[in-house]
Chain A
Amino acid sequence: MENTFYTLHDFFVFTKGSAYILMGVILLGILGFWLFITGRDEETFIK
């Protein structure tokens, strides 16, 4: 019977890897959020 043995190294590889991917999502998310907030500012500016 096979038992999977996870080490601390495995844990960090998994969590840090997830965090790196999340960072990309966050960067795009904040950029989108900022564009959403300031969208009408630009319309006012063009007028």
Chain B
Amino acid sequence: MSTAAELKKTWLTPFNIIVGIILLVGGFVTILRFTKGLAGVTNLTDNYPWGIWISFDLLCGVALAAGGFTTSAACYVFGLKRFHSAVRPAILTAFLGYSLVVFALHYDVGRPWRLPYPFFVQSGTTSVLFEVGLCVFLYLITLFVEWVPSALEWLGFKKPRNVIVRMTLALTIFGVVLSTMHQSSLGALYLIAPSKMHPLWYSMFLPLFFFVSAIAAGLSMVIYEGTLSHHYLHDKMDKVYLSEHEGVTFGFAKGAAVVLVVYFFIKIVGITLDNNWHYLLTGYGAWFLFELLGFVALPAFLYAVAVREHNACLVRWAAVLTVLGIILNRFNVSLVAFNWQLPSAQKYFPSWMEIAISVFIVTVGLLVFRFIATKMPIFYEHPDFREHVPHEGEEEEAPEFVEHELKPHPQSFGH
């Protein structure tokens, strides 16, 4: 077989073809968005100035990226060192998640080149949106600094890597503070619209709901992402990661079960304090119960049974349900329950181009994740920078990993 034919066979995989089509369509719609404006590609109206790019790309993106601060807090603040191997994948997921949130914002705001205005030109310090923007801006920088040691290890820059690693605890605390603030403030954004939101979703506890549900989402996302990575990137994992994986899965499952139960109960308290019980008998009530029972109570129960029975498969299903539940909740708050009294003819439904851009952005994230995870020490410890202290009775041999992955380690850099 000729080299050209071999190359064609190597590149023309179903994955590459699908990704290629998504990127082409995404590129085409991107050109349309920035030449014809928001009206050219979206179904947004004065009633719905925020559509799927906010509901999915921003609200879901930020919630599902909460695994970064939950994992690093568990490991470095609460001292649960058995989760150490999960920190780097979680930080990478969070960093890419927040990067894509900001990337998606460039599509959604009318004049994206003015995104830095609130910080450097005209600060609206009394606005919740200002706080969200500032926190996301600072947290993205924090996540970048937290992620950078893996890149520096890959490139062989020892000194700067060691300086940044010494800042880990401070960065973690900063990240936890910023995450607590903006995860809750995303919910607080909707406090301004009590007359537009359905009473079952509107509550003075919206900030608390968003924060607590984000923790469950973050823990579940780490489990889900770990499962996918285990399947597709197994050869990039060293013995330490593989040996700690089960402990991470069940430890996080236990945490997610408790957080989901707490979330379930505070939602009930929210209904009680607003005395909204009678709404449960309406159509919106049925939808609310579907979300609360099917995607909060059920995964909490499944997590509990899975931990009790030591069933990893059930943990993964519970994680998938939780992730779907968070997406459903953010869609419900920002789209379904929003403008609930409008006639159905005036309701918002995203155009195919809005959906295409969201799929495009997720695909870009997946590609970047795959590139970084296959090139840099994410699922294994670089032999020159080992931190793992073998447990008692554990062999002190170097972790196995694919040698060629360390090759882009130019000796001319750093040192």
Contacts and interface: CB of A to CB of B under 8 A. Distances in A.
B259 to A, nearest CB: 11
B261 A30 contact: yes
B45 interface: no
A15 B309 CA distance: 39
A39 B305 CA distance: 11
Contacts of A15: 272-275
B308 A36 contact: yes
A9 interface: no
| Chain B: interface size category | 10 to 19
Interface in A2-43: 11, 14-16, 18-19, 22-23, 26, 29-30, 33-34, 36-37, 39-40
Given A11-B275, A15-B274, A22-B272, A37 B310 contact: no
Contacts of A39: 308
A15 B307 CA distance: 36
Contacts of A19: 269, 272-273
B269 A22 contact: yes
Contact of A14 (B254, B275, B310): B275
A37 B309 CA distance: 9
Contact of A36 (B268, B275, B304): B304
Given A36-B304, A39-B308, A29 B269 contact: no
B273 A37 contact: no
Nearest to B307: A37
B262 interface: yes
Interface range on chain A: under 10, 10 to 19, 20 to 34, or 35 or more? 10 to 19
Contacts of B307: 37, 40
A7 to B, nearest CB: 14
B258 interface: yes
B257 interface: yes
A26 B261 CA distance: 9
B352 interface: no
A44 B117 CA distance: 58
Interface string B257-289: 110011001001100111100000000000000
Contacts of A37: 254, 257-258, 304, 307-308
B273 A16 contact: yes
A34 B300 CA distance: 11
A6 to B, nearest CB: 11
A18 B272 contact: yes
Nearest to A40: B308
Contacts of B309: 40
A15 B258 CA distance: 26
A22 B254 CA distance: 24
A31 B219 CA distance: 21
B229 to A, nearest CB: 26
A34 B275 contact: no
A26 B265 CA distance: 7
A33 B268 contact: no
B254 A30 contact: no
B266 to A, nearest CB: 9
Report the 5 A-B pairs with minimum CB-CB distance, sorted nearest first.
A26-B265, A18-B272, A37-B304, A40-B308, A19-B272
Interface of A: 11, 14-16, 18-19, 22-23, 26, 29-30, 33-34, 36-37, 39-40
Given A15-B272, A22-B268, 16 more contacts: A11-B275, A14-B275, A15-B273, A15-B274, A19-B273, A26-B265, A26-B268, A26-B269, A29-B261, A30-B262, A34-B258, A36-B308, A37-B254, A37-B258, A37-B308, A40-B309
29 contacts: A11-B275, A15-B272, A15-B274, A15-B275, A16-B273, A18-B272, A18-B275, A19-B269, A19-B272, A19-B273, A22-B265, A22-B268, A22-B272, A23-B269, A26-B268, A26-B269, A29-B261, A29-B265, A30-B261, A30-B265, A33-B300, A34-B258, A36-B304, A36-B308, A37-B258, A37-B307, A37-B308, A39-B308, A40-B309
